[in-house]
Structure 1
C-alpha cells in the first residue's frame, strides 16, 4: 500500500510511520511543514526508508503536486495543532491548520477525482465534557467542543463528513483518547512532568488534578490506525480508547513513583479556562474489527519515563520556559 502521511513528523504520526515501515514495509511519503512539534528527529531510523516533503497542508498547490506525483492509495492526516493551552493563548494557528488545512485536503481530493481514501485523526475532545454523568460518548453523539482546539477539530470532522456526503470523498475518521509515549512534545502533561523532574522542579497540575482521562499508549494507537485502514468501512467514525481511566493526578503520581520522587512533590495551579473534567467513549466499533489495546497504563508509563531519561538529545532543545518549566501556567 502507498500512504501519504500528513503530519508524519509529529508525535502520533511519526510513531505510526515507524510502526508501518518496520512491520509492513509499505511505501510512505511524509508531508509535514516541520512546525515546533514536527521534527525530522522524530523519524530517526526510518528516514532512509521513506520519502519526505516539507509542506503545509493549507498550501493547495504544493499539496496537490505531492498527491499527483506520489499517487497514494490513502492519505492519513495527522497534521494538526493539538495543544489546548496554545489554542487558548493563540487560536489562529488552530483555525488555519485544523480547519483550512482539512478544507485544502478535501478540495485537492475533489479536484483530482481519484479513488483515494482519507483517514483523518480527530480527538475524543470533540465530544466535550462528560463530567457529572456516567455517559460514554458513541460515534453518533453530538459534538460539543469546549476549547478553540477541540472546536477546530470538530469543524474539520464536520467538513469531512459533508464532503463525503456531497462529493463522495471516501473517508474514515478516528477519535483516539489521550495518547502518551515516546516522541511526545514536552509541552504535554507526561513528558512535561518527567522533564521538570529531571530539572529538579515539581510537576504542575491544573486545579486539583481531578480531570479524568482515558490513557492510550501511542503504539496501540498505531495498531488501531492500521486496523481501520485494513478492516474499516468508508464513511464511518471510529472511537479509539484504552479503557484505562485515571485522573491527571493519578498519572503524575505514577510518574513520580517511577522516578522515585514523593507523592506530595506536586504544585497545584489554577484551573485551565474552559477545562473539560471527564472524557469517556464507547469503542465497540473498533473492537468489532479485532483491535484491543495491549499496553497497560503502568507498563506504558514506566517505558515512557525510561525513554525520556535515555533520550535527552531528543527533548533538550524543545524545553520551552512558558509551557514546560513555568510553575504557573496561567
Structure 2
C-alpha cells in the first residue's frame, strides 16, 4: 500500500506520516511545499525509513503533481495540505483561496487522471481522502444562550455548512469540490471534519503552543474577548490514528466527523496550561498572572462541538487521550524540545498576535 500524504511536513500531516511508518507496513510519499508551517524536523524520527519518501511540491503545480502520480502510483491520497490559521486568513485571504481551493482542484484533477488509468482491481483500492475542519459548519449555540435544561446541539455529518472566516470558507469550498468530483466523475472520495487539534510539533501561532511558549518567556497571555469561546479539543496523535483508519477502512462517498469529546472554554484551556507549568516548572509568581484580555477576533465563532458517534460505531475509533493527559504530554514536549521551538521561531513569526484586522 502506497499512501500519498499532502502537507506531510505540517502539524497534523507529520503526525499522520509518523503514525503510518511506526504502526503500519505501508509506504508514504510526503508531498509538501514547505511553507512557514512545514517543518521536516518534525519527521526526523522516521526520515531514514525505507518506506518514506519526501517530495517538495506545491499542490497548485499540476505538472509536478502529474510527475509524482506517475512516478509513485499511490493507492491512497490523504490530502492535508492547507493554509489553516484563521487569524492569517483575516490578514491575507488570498493565499487561502489559492492553496485550499485552487490547490484542491488541481490535486483532484491529477488524482482523477491517475485513477482513470488504473486497472479494475487497482481502481477498486484507490481512495482520495480529504481532511477538513469542523469550522465549515459555522457557529453552535453557546451554553450562555441556552436554558439550563436545554440540550446543546453538536455538529453531525449532516450539519449544513455556514463558514464564518476566510479560512473556513475556503475549506468549505474544497469540501464541495471533493463531493462534486465524486458525484460527477465517480472519483472514490471520503471526507473527514475534525475538531481543534493540539499536541507535539504544533507551529506556535495556535492557542495552546502560543500560550505555552509565551508563558515560559514571561510574556503576556492574551485571551480574545472574555475567553468564553468553546472548542472541542483532539490530541493530534489520536487524530492521526483516526485518519489512517478512515483512509484504509472508510467507505467511499462518506463523511466522518472526528472529535475529542473535550469541550473547553479558551480561558479554561489557558488556565489549565498555567496550572501544569506551576507544577512542573514553578517560578516565584503564578503563570496565570500573565493572562490579559484583548479585543476579540473579527467574526469569532463562539462554539464548536462534534458528534463523533459515526466513526465510533462504523469504524470502531475513539480518542485514547483525555484533555488532561494530552495537555500535560503537550506541555512536557515543548519543555523538552526547546531546539525545535527555536528553529520554527527563527523565521518571520515571533509569537505576535495576527488577525487584528484586514490589511490594505
Same fold (TM over 0.5): yes
Contact 1:269 1:329 in 2 (8 A): no
Match of 1:29 in 2: 29
Q: CA RMSD in A?
A: 1.6
SS in 2 for 1:263: helix
Structure 1 residues not aligned, in runs of 5+:
none
1:121-270 matches, within 5 Å, as: 121-132=131-142, 134-260=152-278, 261-270=286-295
Asked if 1:286 corresponds to 2:288, the answer is no
1:192 and 1:324 in contact (8 A); partners too: no
Q: Is the 8 A contact 1:6 1:79 kept in 2?
A: yes
- CA 1:300–1:324 in structure 2 vs 1: closer, same or farther (change >3 Å)? farther
Work out whether 1:118 is the aligned partner of 2:120.
no
Contact residue 215 and residue 287 of structure 2 kept, 8 A: no
- Partner residue of 2:80? 78
Segments of structure 2 that go 5 or more residues without pairing to the other structure are 147-151, 279-285
Partner Cα distance (1:270, 1:124) in 2: 24
The 1:200–1:329 alpha-carbon spacing in structure 2 relative to 1, beyond 3 Å, is farther
Q: C-alpha deviations, 1:213-256, integer Å up to 9, x for none?
A: 00010011011112212321001110001111101110111100
Cα drift, residue 136 of structure 1: 1.0
Given the alignment, which residue of 98, 107, 110 partners 2:109?
107
| Cα shift readout 1:132-161 (whole Å, capped 9, x = no counterpart) | 462212111111000000000000000000
Q: How do 1:40-59 residues align onto structure 2 when only pairs under 5 Å count?
A: 40-49=40-49, 50-59=52-61
Partner Cα separation in structure 1 for residue 134 and residue 309 of structure 2 = 15
1: CA distance, partners of 2:171 / 2:94: 13
Which of these two proteins has the greater Rg computed from alpha carbons? 2
Match of 1:302 in 2: 328
Farther off after superposition, 129-138 or 64-73:
129-138
Distance 1:6 1:327 in 2: 28
Q: Secondary structure at the match of 1:279?
A: coil
- Tell me, yes or no, if the aligned pair for 1:187 and 1:320 is still in contact at 8 Å: no
Question: What's 1:39 paired with?
Answer: 39
Displacement after TM superposition at 1:315 (Å):
1.3
